[in-house]
Structures are given as C-alpha cells and as structure tokens.
Amino acid sequence: MLTEVLLALVLGGIIYLLVQRSKRHQLKSEDGWWGVGNPPETEEEDVRIHPYTVRTSDEELEDLYRRIDQTRHVPSLEDSQFNYGFNSHYLQKVVSYWRHDFDWRRQVEKLNKYPHFKTNIEGIDVHFVHVRPTNLPEGVTAVPLLMVHGWPGSFYEFYGMIPLLTEPSNPDDAVFEVVCPSIPGYGFSDAPHKKGFDSVCAARVFHKLMKRLGFQQFYAHGGDWGWIVTTNMAQLEPQIIKGLHLNFAPPSKSGLLMVLSLILGRRFPKLFGFDEHDVQRIYPVFQNLVVETVKESGYMHIQATKPDTVGRALNDSPVGLAAYILEKFSTWTDHDFRNLDDGGLTRKFSMDDLLTNVMIYWTSGCIISSMRFYKENFSKGLYQPHTKMPVHVPTGFASFPNELTHTPKLWVQQKYRQLKTFTPMARGGHFAAMEEPQLMAQDIQNFIKMLEKRKK
C-alpha cells in the first residue's frame, strides 16, 4: 500500500512538472505614469497623434561650434590605436570634419524625409517615424512592422532599411508599413521623470502606440535594447505579435543544455549543432566569453550603476559625447578595429551618418536619460521574471558574424521555442541594420514571407 502511494506521488509529481513546463506563462505589467507629478485624476487620456518636425537653429549650431572650439586636446599614447578607447589623434580629424564640413541642416532635411509624429502615452510624449508605402499594388495589403533601436543608436539606424521594406524592388516581396519609435529617454521621445522605466515598461508603451495607430496584429524587429523590448512585447501579448525578428539575443540564463554545450561543444560540435564559426567564437571559453566581455563592458557597469555622473560630462561636451558614442561604432562593428588608427569607422559607415546619430543625442540632450535605461533594467536583478520566461511567438534570428555577443542556434532555441529561421549572415556586426541594411531587410523579408505563406 505504501509503495503504491509513493508511486502515485512520484507519478503525480512528474505529471505536474510536465504540465507546468508546457504551460505558457504570459508576462504581466501594470500601467504606469512617467510624467511630472501625479497623474491627473479627472482628465481623459489624450490619444491624439501630432505631426513632428525635426528642427535646428543658428543658436543651436553656434553653441555647438563654440563648445567644439573650446575642447582641450589630449594626445593618445604611441601605438595605442583604439585599444585605450577612441584614439585622440583620429578624434581631432573627426572633430575637424564635424566643425567645418558636416552639414547638420542638410541632415535635418534627410531626417524629415519620412513622417515623424508624437503621442502622449503614460504621461510622456513618444516620438516615432511612421512610413506607409506610397505605391501599394492593387490587392496587396501592407504588412505592419515595428522596429526598435538600442544604445547608443537611434531610430536613424533604420533609415537605410525603410525604402527597402516599404518600396521593395522585387514584386514577390512583401510590402511593409514601418513604425520606428524612439525608446522613451532616447532621441525625441520624452525621458521618464520617475524611477523604474525598464524594458517591460517600454514594451507596454509600444503596444499602446501600435494599438493607437490601429494595428490589431503586427511583426516586430529588434537589436540591442530593441531585442529585449520586442521580446517583452511578445511575452506581454503573444497573440498580437505575429512574428519576432532579432539580430541580437544574448543568453538570458544558463540551463543544463547550454552548460553541456560549453563543456563538450569543442570536442563534439555536431552534437550541439555548432558550426566552425560557433567554435571559433566560443572557444577558448575564458578568453572569448569572459575576457572579451570584460574588455567591452566597462560602459555597462557605469551606466547600470551611476549613469548621471558621467552623463553630465557628456551632456556638456560634444567632443566627449562623440568619442563615447563613436567608439562603440568602431569596436562593436568589428573587434579587430581596435588595432586600427582610425578605428575602422568609415570602412562600414559614412561620417555623415555617424555624426547624424551623435547629433540626435546632442540636440535632444538625451544621453543621460538613455544611459539610465541600463540602471533601470539591471537594478532589478539579472534574472527578472521575463528572463526566465520562454517566448512562444514565431521567431527569426539573423546571426551576424561580428556581433558583440555570439549566440549559437541551440542557445537561441532555449529562449525562443518557435525559432523558425536562423540565418548565418555573410558579414556585419552589432549595428547591422545601419551597417548592412540590404542583408537585414532581406532576412526580414524571407522570415515574414515564410510565415505569411504558411498561414495562407
């Protein structure tokens, strides 16, 4: 009798664990208020959407030039390239171009090429670019796509991709209606006035934005912070996100399978689906996953603990701001660029595009609030509820070879249970949308066309 009871308890426990494991938990989040003071008690929420135009002025440019002219040059060490940070000798060339040749007014016109808008959500104005296809073929419905940037990027990262998605040259390609918001605290979105605005809050705000625009369902793409924001969106309302496309997905936790793959993957790569590139990026583990991470994560520790201190200096010095931001566009594009005198910056990007991104931070004064996003996310602990929660939305992953954090297919699958495509990309690094817009747009096309055909 006792044996039967014990057996029943064991079987019951196994069944319970299996049921709990298969149960799809949904992320919960309550509405917030990020404006000044307390939320109004009687007024209804203002759901209006207002056109927005990026502007500049003589006073803004004169202030910028005055600050650039007063910068104090500090010589770099001999033969240091970008291994100590942004090389000061090359920085002088960048600053000279910025001061004498860069045309911010022309870049403002380029920014305004696409329609900009603002709308108030949870007490703050949220900025976004919304581009509809102009020549939609008869009988074709545009596919709604939300694209979310990261740090130290901006909505401008997607400008090279927008025409490829909204006006594709291939008649068999999907035609997209694109929405590119600025994360609150970034670019032209208001900064939260209260503590606690993390990726889940951003995800909730962007869901409200898309509903306000009339979208019942849509696709989402993200890299860097955009990865976790769109992932949270899929966890909050999986029935609304038709598909999730990512180009960045560092492991959120180390399960048994991941640990085994680290221990045995070098000797038995095929057992874990590792290819030659996986082995090169992962092993030796200490050098590639520990030492390299430490080399490139000092900024993260500062921003996750005391962002306002260094942020104040960057907010006052345009040259300091440029060095801080552009150094990431060097090393995160290809870590070997650390060994080049010019950091390889213009091998992948134009100087005008790089400085346009810097100017979005400078003119909006958003560097401190953008850095606080690290504090808000990391101060709640490395393992928040959403980090342990699998994603069951159909997912596509573009694996760029020079991404800062390499994530093999097996590791991506641990989080994204419906991984439909995993594409080893031919080239590209962390800022892939800006560096390789055609490759990224094509991978999004392939992923979404596959899902749409299956549904039909």
- For the segment 300-315, the average pLDDT, to the nearest whole number, is 97
Contact 277, 427 (CB under 8 A): no
pTM: 0.93
pLDDT at 454: 67
Task: State the first-to-last Cα distance of the chain, in angstroms, to the nearest integer.
Answer: 56
Amino acid at 274: F
Task: Give residue 288's pLDDT band: very low, low, confident or very high (50, 70, 90).
Answer: confident
φ, ψ of residue 60 to 5 degrees: the values are -65, -45
pLDDT at 385: 84
Sign for the CA dihedral angle at 233, 234, 237, 243 comes to positive
Residues with a known catalytic role: 224, 374, 430
Q: Which candidate, 64, 163, 159, places its Cα nearest to that of 111? A: 159
CB atoms within 10 A of CB 58: 8
In this structure, what token pair is assigned to residue 5?
């009871």
Rounded Cα–Cα distance for residues 146 and 245 (Å): 10
Q: Which candidate, 320, 333, 364, 285, places its Cα nearest to that of 125? A: 364
- For the segment 241-267, the average pLDDT, to the nearest whole number, is 92
Residues 387-425: pLDDT tens digits? 889 999 999 999 999 999 999 999 999 999 999 999 999
Rounded Cα–Cα distance for residues 147 and 181 (Å): 7
SS (H, E, C) the chain: CHHHHHHHHHHHHHHHHHHHHHCCCCCCCCCCCCCCCCCCCCCCCCCCEEEECCCCCHHHHHHHHHHHHCCCCCCCCCCCCCECECCHHHHHHHHHHHHHCCCHHHHHHHHCCCCEEEEEECCEEEEEEEECCCCCCCCCCCEEEEEECCCCCCHHHHCCCHHHHHCCCCCCCCCEEEEEECCCCCCCCCCCCCCCCCHHHHHHHHHHHHHHCCCCCEEEEECCHHHHHHHHHHHHCCCCEEEEEECCCCCCCCCHHHHHHHHHCCCCHHHHCCCHHHHHHHCCHHHHHHHHHHHHCHHHHHHHHCHHHHHHHHHHCHHHHHHHHHHHHHHCCCHHHHHCCCCCHHHHCCHHHHHHHHHHHHHHCCHHHHHHHHHHHHCCCCCCHHHHCCECCCEEEEECCECCCCCCHHHHHHHECCEEEEEECCCCECCHHHHCHHHHHHHHHHHHHHHHHHHC
Q: Does the pLDDT of residue 7 top 50, yes or no?
A: no
Q: Does the pLDDT of residue 6 top 60, yes or no?
A: no
Peptide bond before residue 238 is cis, with ω within 30 degrees of 0: no
Residue 206, Ramachandran bin (φ over 0: left; ψ between -120 and 50: alpha; else beta): alpha
pLDDT at 12: 42
Residues 169-181: pLDDT tens digits? 998 999 999 999 9
Its CATH class, for the domain covering 77-455, is alpha beta
- For the segment 135-151, the average pLDDT, to the nearest whole number, is 93
In this structure, what token pair is assigned to residue 329?
């566009």
Q: Does the pLDDT of residue 153 top 60, yes or no?
A: yes
- Give the residue with greater pLDDT, 389 vs 24: 389
Contact 213, 205 (CB under 8 A): no
- Cα 147 to Cα 100, 182, 245, 446: the distances in Å are 34, 10, 9, 16
pLDDT at 18: 42
Residues 312-344: pLDDT tens digits? 999 999 999 999 999 999 999 999 999 999 999
In this structure, what token pair is assigned to residue 46?
């203002």
Rounded Cα–Cα distance for residues 370 and 191 (Å): 8
Q: Please name every residue paired with 52 in a beta bridge, in sequence order, or none if there are none.
A: 116
Rounded Cα–Cα distance for residues 345 and 330 (Å): 5
pLDDT at 455: 64
158 Cβ neighbours under 8 A, 6+ residues apart: 129, 147, 149, 178, 180, 433, 434, 437
pLDDT at 147: 99
CA angle 245, 199, 86 (to 5 degrees): 85
Residues 80-95: pLDDT tens digits? 999 999 999 999 999 9
Least confident of 76-90, 250-264, 274-288, 419-433: 250-264
Amino acid at 292: E
Residues 40-79: pLDDT tens digits? 887 788 899 999 999 999 999 999 999 999 999 999 999 9
Task: Give residue 10's pLDDT band: very low, low, confident or very high (50, 70, 90).
Answer: very low
Q: Does the pLDDT of residue 253 top 80, yes or no?
A: no
Residues 189-214: pLDDT tens digits? 999 999 999 999 999 999 999 999 99
Query: For the chain, what is the mean pLDDT?
Result: 93
Least confident of 49-58, 137-146, 150-159: 137-146
Least confident of 1-10, 118-127, 355-364: 1-10
Q: Does the pLDDT of residue 23 top 80, yes or no?
A: no
Least confident of 22-26, 132-136, 372-376: 22-26
